[in-house]
Amino acid sequence: MSLFGFVKDIGRRLFNKDEDAAEKIKEHILAHNPGVEDLKVTYENGIVGLSGRCTNKDAFQKCVLMAGNVQGVADVYATGLVPYVDPAAKAAAEAARAAPEEQYYVIEKGDTLWAIARKFLGDGNRYPEVFEANREVIIDPDKIFPGQKIRIPPK
């Protein structure tokens, strides 16, 4: 969500003139250092715009709340404020996107795991990989049945 509404007439009074508002709000946020780098603040007719990069998980909410709880602020737009992303979570998400999509196959009459491995993995000798990926479904690699749905391991 990028738009946050506040009660304009309630909050800490930081400025007397609208021309000073953006700078005063920025000073207020930076003085309490919620974890935002390259912070930029705009103010026009009770609307604050925030941009910058959050350096911890709570920074986004703290920055929005600090700006919104200033007297004279009715709305806060945080579209330019980049939320913090945990490096481990980011790496996991990138790995998941890079991982090949899982494939499924419904066994047909006459199929063998060797033939399925050759068709999907490019080498029939890789049939043990197909078997291992489907141990819950296939009890014996020599006994597969038409209609069984199996997973194809990534290449």
Judge if 74 and 115 occupy the same domain. no
Judge if 130 and 77 occupy the same domain. no
In a domain, 12, yes or no: yes
Residue 5 has pLDDT above 90, yes or no: no
pLDDT of residue 137: 83
pLDDT in tens, 12-27: 899 989 999 999 999 9
Judge if 31 and 64 occupy the same domain. yes
Give the domain range for residue 109. Answer: 100-152
pLDDT of residue 108: 93
3-state secondary structure of 16: coil
Residue 93 has pLDDT above 80, yes or no: no
Q: How many residues does the chain have?
A: 155
pLDDT in tens, 94-146: 777 776 677 889 999 999 999 999 999 999 999 999 999 988 888 899 999 89
CATH code of 138's domain: 3.10.350.10
Distance CA 11, CA 144 (A): 70
Percent of the chain with pLDDT over 70: 96
Judge if 68 and 32 occupy the same domain. yes
- Mean pLDDT over each residue of the chain, to the nearest integer: 89
In a domain, 40, yes or no: yes
In a domain, 35, yes or no: yes
Q: Which helix (H) or strand (E) holds 130?
A: helix 127-132
In a domain, 108, yes or no: yes
Question: Tokens in use for 61?
Answer: 């909410």
Instruction: Give the closest residue to 130 by CA, choosing from 154, 96, 101.
Output: 154
pLDDT of residue 140: 93
| 7 or 83, greater pLDDT | 83
pTM check: above 0.85? no
Instruction: Give the closest residue to 7 by CA, choosing from 41, 63, 37, 46.
Output: 46
Judge if 75 and 104 occupy the same domain. no
